[in-house]
Every structure is written in C-alpha cells, then in structure tokens.
Amino acid sequence: AQSVTQLGSHVSVSEGALVLLRCNYSSSVPPYLFWYVQYPNQGLQLLLKYTTGATLVKGINGFEAEFKKSETSFHLTKPSAHMSDAAEYFCAVSEPPLNTDKLIFGTGTRLQVFP
Amino acid sequence: EPEVTQTPSHQVTQMGQEVILRCVPISNHLYFYWYRQILGQKVEFLVSFYNNEISEKSEIFDDQFSVERPDGSNFTLKIRSTKLEDSAMYFCASSELGAQYGYTFGSGTRLTVV
C-alpha cells in the first residue's frame, strides 16, 4: 500500500537560509510524486511533480526536489528562504493511472521563516 | 490562471442535516475529485469522478456521501445526514488528464457540524 512520511511537522529557518523538507514514500510500483503548498485559508497549490524522466525536478517559487529511488525519498529544497515561503507543505504520492488516480498525502510540514 | 471554485467557503449545519458542497472545476478538465482535511490531520481522498461516474472511492465515502455533476459545469458533494465527525475542510480538485499531471485544488469549504 502507498504511504508518505514527512519527517518534522514543523521546520523553522531564517530568511536566506536553506530550506529542506523531508519526504519518504512507500509504493509497490514506480510512483508519481508531488509537493503541494497550502497558504493560510487557501487551497493546495502544486509546487512540483515527478512522474518519469529527470530525477531532479524544478518547481515554482525556486523550489526543487530530487527523486531518489534507492532512498525512497523526494525531499523538497530551496537554496534561500523568503518570508513568503511560510506555509504548510504536503508531499503526496500516486501510483500510475492504471492502478489508481488518487493522491496519498503526508501529514504536512509547517515552514516558519524568521527575519 | 484558471481556478477551481468552491462554495460556500464556510458552512455550519446541525447534526443530521443534509449539506451540499458545490464546486466548479476548470472547464476543460475531465477528472474530478473530493478530498477532506479534518483539523490537524492529513488530507484524505474521498472520491474520484470521470465520465459521469465514480471511478474510485475511499472507505470514508460511505452511503451517506454522494457526488453529482448535475449540469456539465458544477460538481457537488452531498452528505445526507451529517455527523459531528464530518466537520472538516472539504477540497474539490480537477485535472485535465489525471493524477500524473497534478490536480488543481479549490480553496475549500469548511464544514462545521454542531
């Protein structure tokens, strides 16, 4: 069965510091992997996704993530945090459409950015 | 940029009452979904809908729940007899070609059952 584990429910960084949000997954087949961001009182916005091909994927707002099959990980990074990055971040996994079309979400990581 | 629109943004209802949550997906999208997020918990899949029928549903989506696309533009989630534990944020999402392309989520309806 698919599952997603996000280590750290809260992460705090200083403005300009590296952001690293961790995500590990479990899937019986090569997965599709996603990061979503949720700003207060808003819906979930797709940051980036990995389906096939290049394992380093770039998303919006300067974020990127690397799919590492050997580590079953899909960690999200950003070289330099900005105050506007403060939000809740969700990692999600899906198996290819022939198996299922639903997303399984992690429990989320709340990112705080201090000046 | 195209949006998924959900109404109302907040609904309060009494236990046992029926509620209908409304969503307008992006016009050229073919796949529709409902998810929910109980306060402080993870986002959970409820149901997916394609070609005017349910394609997949979770254990949460029991006989109290139903979905409908009544007029080709709206996509609704009905809860027939609400329970306290149905209190949650409900998100509608749509996708042009399925999960691999990512979803566009609406901003959610906060349902409070009292």
A64: helix, coil or strand? strand
Residue B49 has pLDDT above 80, yes or no: yes
> What does the block give as tokens for A85?
């990055």
Long-range contact set of residues B46-51: C-beta below 8 Å, sequence gap at least 24: B46/B77, B46/B90, B47/B77, B48/A101, B48/A102, B49/B75, B50/A101
Q: Is there a contact between B100 and A90 if contact means CB atoms under 8 Å apart?
A: no
Q: Does A105 touch chain B (CB under 8 A)?
A: yes
Closest CA to A94 of B1, B22, B33, B51: B33
Q: Give every CB contact of residue B77 below 8 A, 6+ residues apart in sequence.
A: B20, B21, B23, B34, B46, B47, B65, B66, B67, B90, B92
Separation of CA A97 from chain center: 20
Residue B16 has pLDDT above 90, yes or no: yes
Angle at B104 between CA B100 and CA B107, to 5 degrees: 150
Residue B46 has pLDDT above 90, yes or no: yes
Cα–Cα distance, B86 to A73 (Å, whole number): 33
Mean pLDDT, rounded, for B48-72: 92
**Chain B residues with CB inside 8 Å of A107's CB?**
41-42
Q: Which of A43, A92, A102 is opposite residue B107, by nearest beta carbon? A: A43
CB burial of residue B40 (10 Å; 0-12, 13-18, 19+): exposed
Q: Does A96 touch chain B (CB under 8 A)?
A: yes
Q: Is there a contact between B102 and A46 if contact means CB atoms under 8 Å apart?
A: yes
Q: Do the beta carbons of residue B100 and residue A32 sit within 8 Å?
A: yes
Peptide bond into A40 cis (omega under 30): no
β-strands B10-13, A104-105 pairing: unpaired
Cα–Cα distance, B76 to A65 (Å, whole number): 34
Residue B41 has pLDDT above 90, yes or no: no
Distance from CA of A114 to the nearest CA of B (A): 23
Pick among A23, A35, A42, A44 to test the B interface (most B CBs inside 10 A): A44
β-strands A56-58, B5-7 pairing: unpaired
User: Nearest-CA residue of chain A relative to B9?
Assistant: A41
Q: Is there a contact between A46 and B31 if contact means CB atoms under 8 Å apart?
A: no
* pLDDT value for B101: 77
User: Nearest-CA residue of chain A relative to B34?
Assistant: A102
Q: Does A40 touch chain B (CB under 8 A)?
A: no
Mean pLDDT per block of 10 residues along chain A (115 residues) reads 89 97 89 92 89 92 95 96 96 77 91 96
Q: Is there a contact between A43 and B43 if contact means CB atoms under 8 Å apart?
A: no
Q: Which of B44, B99, B105 is opposite residue A97, by nearest beta carbon? A: B99
Tell me what the pLDDT averaged over chain B comes to.
Answer: 93
Mean pLDDT, rounded, for B53-80: 93
